[in-house]
Structure 1
């Protein structure tokens, strides 16, 4: 259960909803533990989110390998570590039925979250639009029954599953918008043309994932293309793992410690972020 008061959760929810109402494009930083949640808060981000892959990797599992209980327990640690709104990557809703997805939304609110995403893929692939809408509708109805404005993000996963059909992706996002989703998200878009095509065909705020090797654009550029929210997915957690693995490989394979020449933060440097105002 969340340690937030109802008033605090309502404040965070309103703050999160207002960010999507604009007019500015904002970045939501994906944290994976209390420490990164506090650091990203101190750095001035306006909202945080979880990262399913980041959590899974800390448990030596592949992306998609965590349970609902593990995901929400992690989310609760982020909520407790910050005053910012926190939303969650709820993957496929941790269930195959609409009722299971609705229960995930209700339980996510119980740990203090003020938003969450629902994918249109279950298991190994994209599900038919009708089934995706049934699951999304259940999530939205559960969200609307909460005593605060919970932000529901609907995800069209085509591009992550090898289906680079932009027309179908846009049609799905339009259907999700009509069903009442608050934010629309098609992960895997990598070009200005794709992103402009999506943002020009829907009326709800669009989220784009950035920070990876395939999308080279700035916050300003993405805003000009019509993006309202920029998320980072697992990109920050993978950047941290890249540095750690690279340093460890140097030691194991070469017997040297060159990584430490000015590239390692001191305890004081790191811990200073936890007490930053």
Structure 2
């Protein structure tokens, strides 16, 4: 289905303005190419690069960080907006998030159209960006966390497709190991300094709880329980609540008893 059909009858110009139309149409073109069995051959040789740069596009902007830090309700609304609908009254940050969702739609199409190769492309790109973010972190780059959050956002958004592919027997790349490595590493960061990344860790654990080890799940559950009782930024509490909603029904009783 074309993006214009998902948006409804409003024109792209009315929704996002001329500058946004260019980006939107570019994504629509890529979606058309990737989703077409004949045209898909054009990008097949470069699908890893396509995924790599699409994930990079999913990084939070300064505008989003500012808006969501000041307005927790807007953060929740934008996080839950997965309908690709267009409301003219939305603030600019929502427009940006919609473009991000289109980027996720492109990644979904890669997995659906290229099967095992698409799965590998997603996992390999995620590994590359994780390593790159580590390099930036060590170098003292203040924005190192953005690409890490974008990587987790992409993986979480594709969790159903990735898990289905892995369950089908295609395990050349170990999804479980990579997710656990990122989660364990990032739970060591300061939630006050990097609230959006910390929140994304919680939602990622919830999405991949079926393949994450019991030890990592228990640690995540403990961290979430502590987060909702501490003075932490709203995004962290939101992420913790989402993780608890997913993990508590399956948790061992001794873990959640006071």
State TM-score, norm by structure 1: 0.33
State TM-score, norm by structure 2: 0.35
User: Between Structure 1 and Structure 2, which shows a larger proportion of helix residues?
Assistant: 2
